[in-house]
Amino acid sequence: GGLHSFLVTLPKCEHHLHIEGTLSPEALFDLAKRNNIKLSQDDAAFASPATLLERYAKFSSLDDFLHYYFKAMEVLLTEPDFETLAMNYFETAKKDGVVHAEVFFDPDAHTKRGISYETVVAGLRKGCERAQKELGISSVLIVCVLRNHSVSDAKSVLEVAMKAGHFSNGTLGGLGMSGSEKVGKPEDWEEVFTTAKNAKIHRTAHAGEEGPPEYISTALGRLHTERIDHGRTLAEDPELMKEVATKQILVTLCPLSNICLRGIKQMSEMPIRKFIDAKVHFSINSDDPAYFGGYILANYCSVQEEFNLSLGEWEDIAEHAIQGSWCSAERKRELKNLVY
């Protein structure tokens, strides 16, 4: 469809981006060399960046992807590794017109292999500070607990972050939940999310990516989430869709991710038109762009190619994305002035 140049320059907010998901095969090989890490010998996909990319093009499911995602991040060791990872993302995001980014990270995937929480957060924080200073991009770090780890792991992630004072000093802006949707049930994490709610910590969770809409209602109910990450299967439950619309819950869609991980076969199956018709607020995001063949602009353009949205509809998307962001009221006003 048209509007391509409009979409290029449209100021964008990204709400669903895993910083570990921006680690490209090239960067992975550079880091492996620098950090003296032997890449997996028993998987031929790790022979070169090219073979790895070929494998990424054939993901069969979320779990198939997660296997590579967790393996690849083992090359990240030092604070500068995390700072560079973040800064490389922000530089690409800048080119795509991102003005505000809310960035997930999985501390538990790093602490489990001996990298401290402090190392990870210090590096990412430096990246965020540089993004603000050098690129004018504001950002929020969202610490994720993993569905594929235990509930007690999640409790300690939140406890460590709270004890460090990271939610009150602005280092962290919220709590998220990611990982496999095949293990456990969202309600298992109720206590963790209730603790966060009581401490006035922002909350979101991946739900309805591969799993059913019940996961979405559980996240909103028992986990008290203020947003839903993915939420693609929300369209299967019209009543719930109405509720999400009325409460102006932001759904952070990731179209190219859903296609790559085979939640849907093609873009036409994304519930974009259904969400617009039902007045559901949503943003369009890149999830793990180094793995899914495109950053945020590619996601915007693929949506436009399929759905041919009007200028007004894109302005509504931009407006809802700002409204659903976890930045200050002052920053929201600045972001609105950038759009209009």
Give the residues lining the site for ligand ADE (CB under 6 A).
18, 21, 62, 69, 178-179, 206, 209, 257, 287-288
Please indicate if the annotation marks 18 as binding a ligand: yes
Mark the segment that binds Zn ion (CB under 5 A) among 188-196, 269-277, 283-291, 319-327: 283-291
Length, in residues, of the chain: 340
Q: How far is the CB of 149 from ligand ADE (least distance, A)?
A: 12
- The option from Zn ion, ligand ADE, none interacting with 81 (CB < 5 to 8 A, set by class) reads none
287 lies in the binding site for Zn ion (CB under 5 A): yes
Nearer to ligand ADE, 63 or 91 (CB): 63
20 lies in the binding site for Zn ion (CB under 5 A): no
Both structure tokens of 316: 């509504």
Q: How far is the CB of 227 from Zn ion (least distance, A)?
A: 12
Please indicate if the annotation marks 288 as binding a ligand: yes
CB 141 within 8 A of CB 57: no
Q: How far is the CB of 18 from Zn ion (least distance, A)?
A: 6
Nearer to ligand ADE, 10 or 250 (CB): 250
Nearer to ligand ADE, 39 or 62 (CB): 62
CA distance 32 to 303: 35
The amino acid at residue 334 is E
Please indicate if the annotation marks 206 as binding a ligand: yes
Both structure tokens of 10: 């449209």
Least Cα distance to 92 among 52, 137, 56, 54 occurs for 137
CA distance 112 to 200: 28
Q: How far is the CB of 18 from ligand ADE (least distance, A)?
A: 4
Least Cα distance to 325 among 316, 335, 315 occurs for 335
Please indicate if the annotation marks 202 as binding a ligand: no
Mark the segment that binds Zn ion (CB under 5 A) among 41-49, 160-168, 284-292, 332-340: 284-292
CA distance 35 to 173: 30
Strand 204-207 relative to strand 98-105: parallel, antiparallel, unpaired?
unpaired
DSSP H helices in the chain? 4-9, 25-34, 49-56, 62-72, 79-95, 107-111, 117-130, 151-163, 190-198, 213-221, 238-246, 255-260, 272-277, 289-292, 296-307, 311-323, 329-339
List 20, 79, 209, 210, catalytic entry: 209
- The option from ligand ADE, Zn ion, none interacting with 15 (CB < 5 to 8 A, set by class) reads none
Inter-helix orientation angle 25-34/49-56, to 10°: 140
* 209 is a catalytic site residue: yes
Q: How far is the CB of 148 from ligand ADE (least distance, A)?
A: 9
- The option from ligand ADE, Zn ion, none interacting with 24 (CB < 5 to 8 A, set by class) reads none
Using CB under 5 A as the criterion, which residues of the chain lie in contact with Zn ion when the complex forms?
A: 287
Annotated binding site for Zn(2+): 16, 18, 206, 287
Report the catalytic residues: 209
Annotated binding site for substrate: 288
Annotated binding site: 16, 18, 206, 287-288
